[in-house]
Amino acid sequence: MPSKLMAECNRYKAQLTSLAKDGKVTKAEVTALVKEARSGTFTEVKAHYLIGFLAHYGDKFEPSARAALTRFVNRDMKAYARIEEEVGGPAKAGQPTLTVSDRHSGDVEYVARPGKVQVGGFGLDDVMQGGLGDCYLLSSLSAVAQTHPELLKNAIKTNRDGTYTVTFYEREDMSKPAHPERVTVDGKFAMRDGEFVYASAREQKELWPQIFEKAYAAWKGGFGKTEGGMGAAALQALTGTKPGFTLLTPTMTPADAFAAVKAALAGGGCAVTLSQPFGKPQQGLIADHAYTLLGTEEKNGQQLVRLRNPWGSMEPGADGKDDGIFTMPVEDYLRAFTLLEFVRPA
């Protein structure tokens, strides 16, 4: 079963899409959306979808409806969009349950894989997402590896019996401090025909991305429970730091978006960003996908944003590397992305 959050996302996305099916979004429909958002159950992930809906289907709105939703998105939505608390386990004993499809396939099994926790340190480009919808977690691992690799190093303990204990941080209430949750897993990983089914490392002998992902799945109650999530929650789980987010609204200027990215990364900040969930994405980008934000630069009078796809491949442009790392003008970034999530570890 997918996570509760993914089920909620799918429901909300379908709800929004259905409003545009007849080619017209009315003022009454927008009023209902705003009322729902003010009800106390609105989250940052719904804000992500609502921004994407307005940006992609704007031409289908009645003028008064577009004006009303634009006003809410720009002025009020941030106040209602709460970050979901990071709550896990308790972690189950034994191996985390595989996804439903992998269990039914009959060709996936846990296999001991020898290797080292890390080879040459915890690098942002080590992480390779596999066949699991946990881009939010894998992009967050790269974000922390970029600026605070010591947090990842300190979070993994290798035990004498060959198991690994990983420390995450849980916060049931955003008004309270996070507390540590320790999860122990062994060195067996889900494999198919000798290949990792889920996360892997670019260096074949390195294991830290797999260990973090497996421990996270054990904490959540199975790999299926980690499909669909938010970078803010994952960043908090990895660092213990209260997260924040910035909405990339359709009326935000490129200069404001550039400043927001710089602010999120300032002082050793770790950040991920979510791509537009509706419509056909720019060539080389994946819709509704979490990317690691690596930095900004200004070159020949142009403001640029640097990102990484947690797949470790697939990117816009043609730099000849296909390593998932790419740079794009901030104007393109603003059109293609809807949400920026970050933490600033002490």
Task: Going residue by residue through the chain, which has 346 residues, state the pLDDT in tens, using 9 for 90 and above.
Answer: 567 788 888 999 999 999 999 999 999 999 999 999 999 889 999 999 999 999 999 999 999 999 999 999 999 999 999 987 766 666 655 789 999 999 999 899 999 999 999 999 999 999 999 999 999 999 999 999 999 999 999 999 999 999 999 999 988 777 778 889 999 999 999 999 999 999 999 999 999 999 999 999 999 999 999 999 999 999 999 999 999 999 999 889 999 999 999 999 999 999 999 999 999 888 899 999 999 999 999 999 999 999 999 999 999 987 778 999 999 999 999 999 999 999 999 8
- Asked whether 25 and 65 are in contact (CB, 8 A), the reply is yes
pLDDT of residue 4: 79
Polymer length in residues for the chain: 346
The residues spanned by each domain of the chain are 1-82, 100-228
Sheet strand arrangement including 179-185: 156-158, 164-170, 179-185
Q: Could you tell me the strand order of the sheet in which 195-196 lies?
A: 109-112, 188-192, 195-196
Indicate left, alpha or beta for 59 from its phi (over 0: left) and psi (-120 to 50: alpha): alpha
Predicted TM-score (pTM) of this structure? 0.95
CB 238 within 8 A of CB 141: yes
What is the side-by-side strand order in the sheet with 270-275?
A: 244-247, 337-343, 270-275, 290-299, 302-308, 325-329
pLDDT at 323: 94
pLDDT of 91: 60
- Calculated CA dihedral for residues 251, 70, 72, 252, nearest 10 degrees: 0
Q: What is the 3-state secondary structure (H, E, C) of the chain?
A: CCCHHHHHHHHHHHHHHHHHCCCCECHHHHHHHHHHHCCCCCEHHHHHHHHHHHHHCHHHECHHHHHHHHHHHHHHHHHHCECCCECCCCCCCCCCCCCHHHHHHCCCEEEECCCECCCCCCCHHHEECCCCCCHHHHHHHHHHHHHCHHHHHHHEEECCCCCEEEEEEEECCCCCCCEEEEEEECCEEEEECCEECCCEECCCCECHHHHHHHHHHHHHCCHHHHCCCCHHHHHHHHHCCCCEEEECCCCCCHHHHHHHHHHHHCCCCEEEEEECCCCCCCCCCCCCCEEEEEEEEEECCEEEEEEECCCCCCCCCCCCCCCCEEEEEHHHHHHHEEEEEEECCC
pLDDT in tens, 296-341: 999 999 999 999 999 999 999 877 789 999 999 999 999 999 999 9
Pair of tokens at residue 261: 């990215």
Residues 204-233 pLDDT 10s: 999 999 999 999 999 999 999 999 999 999
Strand 179-185 and strand 302-308: pairing?
unpaired
The pLDDT, as a whole number, for residue 282 is 87
